[in-house]
Structure 1
Amino acid sequence: MIINFTSGAEEYFPSKKIILTDSVIKENKLEKIKDVINYLYNQYPKCREKLFNSDLTLCPGMLCCLDDCDWELFGCEESLLNTNSQLLFLSTIHGG
């Protein structure tokens, strides 16, 4: 699974791209986008309250795409993922 960050969202992570291996996905039960948000929220404290809320939702001004489509087409936080999924988190506050 590949997670990309852009338009200011990358400031809170060590790089613009995080690649999650199959073992990390299985170990952390990353089945839905809300699971990935929870994983990022816990693994990268700098992103807390800037990108994600503690209730596993996006902060205002954040957008998420799943496989190049708006996540709202798939159910937002409840969107199902697989090991080949690609997520993009971007901030509209920085010009999106």
Structure 2
Amino acid sequence: MAAPIALRLQFGGGAELLFDGVKEHQVTLPSQSEPWDMKQLLVWIQRNLLKERPELFVQGDSVRPGILVLINDADWELMGELEYQLQDQDNVVFISTLHGG
């Protein structure tokens, strides 16, 4: 059984508006039999933190195009994207690069 994982989640560039304007969340993911990965984290965020308009944050199993994801200050594309296995104390940042006009 994998131990619970404490994470710092940050939302910026307008993405925080989907989370009641809260830019930073300290969360603890519960224990589960498999290690947590980014794909499972996105589902957890959608169920537990996302307050409105999920279509502006997720698309299918992943984040919507136009949302930059950083894991410990590195682009998640370098970390394996959805397959990345979360570690205790990871810092995950979601920045929207889409701006309405």
TM-score, structure 1 normalization: 0.83
Task: Name the amino acid aligned to 1:37.
Answer: L
The Cα shift of 1:56 comes to 1.9
Q: Which one has a larger percent strand, Structure 1 or Structure 2? A: 2
Q: When you count helix as a share of all residues, which structure comes out higher?
A: 1
Structure 2: 5+ residue stretches without partners:
1-6
Give unpaired runs (5+ residues) of structure 1. none
* Contact map agreement 2:35 2:85 (CA 8 A) in 1: no
Which residues of 2 match residues 1-96 of structure 1 at below 5 A? 1-14=7-20, 15-21=22-28, 24-26=29-31, 31-43=36-48, 44-53=50-59, 55-94=60-99
The TM-score normalised by the length of structure 2 is 0.79
Deviates more, 1:43-52 or 1:11-20: 43-52
CA distance in 2, matches of 1:39, 1:30: 14
Structure possessing the higher radius of gyration over alpha carbons: 2
| % identical aligned pairs | 27
State how far apart, in whole Å, the 1-side matches of 2:83 and 2:57 are.
17
Opposite residue 39 of structure 2, the aligned amino acid is K
